[in-house]
């Protein structure tokens, strides 16, 4: 049976490994879900008279660019024939007047949205630091106990 010290060392190594792996996963999750986020070329199917839901919410209209497919040139081109509902993140295309967008066609939308307000972003931004501190202080205090 290993001694208590050996068990503690193995346990601390496990705690450090799990903590660092958790931190490596948590940090990108925090950064990609707080503050202003950008969505590039989200594909939405245009339907006459209906709003289509976008992945984002609280969308910044000044950053929104909509690309419709030009059948003649065979490429996507920008269009302004749409109505954006910024809060819930919905978009409706003016299919009847548009030369680029047809009913049932895929449209690409690029935009920025506010994933969290500044206060939530501030608090959430400290979470990776909290995990790192927790692992560091825990391991350090146990090592101190061994000395």
Binding mask 37-56 for another protein (x = CB under 8 A): --------------------
The three-class DSSP label of residue 98 is coil
Determine, following the binding rule CB under 8 A, whether residue 91 of this chain makes contact with another protein: no
Nearest approach in angstroms of CB 140 to another protein is: 9
Q: How far is residue 80's CA from residue 89's CA, in Å, rounded to a whole number? A: 17
Q: How far is residue 1's CA from residue 75's CA, in Å, rounded to a whole number? A: 70
**Do residues 53 and 90 lie in contact, with contact meaning Cβ atoms separated by under 8 Å?**
yes
**Do residues 58 and 39 lie in contact, with contact meaning Cβ atoms separated by under 8 Å?**
no
Determine, following the binding rule CB under 8 A, whether residue 83 of this chain makes contact with another protein: no
| Residues making contact with another protein (CB under 8 A) | 4, 7-8, 11, 14-15, 18-19, 21-23, 25-26, 29-30, 33-34, 57-58, 87-89, 115-117, 119-120, 123-124, 126-128, 130-131, 133-135, 137-138, 141
């Amino acid at each position: 049976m290993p001694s208590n010290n050996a068990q503690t060392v193995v346990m601390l190594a496990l705690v450090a490994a799990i903590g660092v792996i958790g931190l490596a996963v948590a940090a990108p999750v925090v950064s990609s879900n707080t503050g202003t986020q950008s969505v590039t070329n989200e594909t939405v199917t245009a339907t006459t008279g209906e709003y289509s839901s976008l992945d984002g919410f609280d969308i910044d209209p000044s950053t929104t660019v909509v690309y419709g497919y030009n059948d003649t040139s065979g490429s996507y081109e920008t269009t302004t024939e749409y109505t954006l509902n910024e809060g819930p993140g919905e978009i409706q295309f003016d299919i009847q007047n548009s030369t680029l967008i047809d009913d049932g066609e895929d449209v690409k939308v690029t935009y920025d949205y506010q994933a969290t307000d500044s206060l939530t972003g501030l608090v959430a931004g400290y979470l990776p630091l909290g995990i790192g501190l927790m692992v560091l202080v825990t391991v350090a205090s146990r090592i101190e106990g061994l000395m």
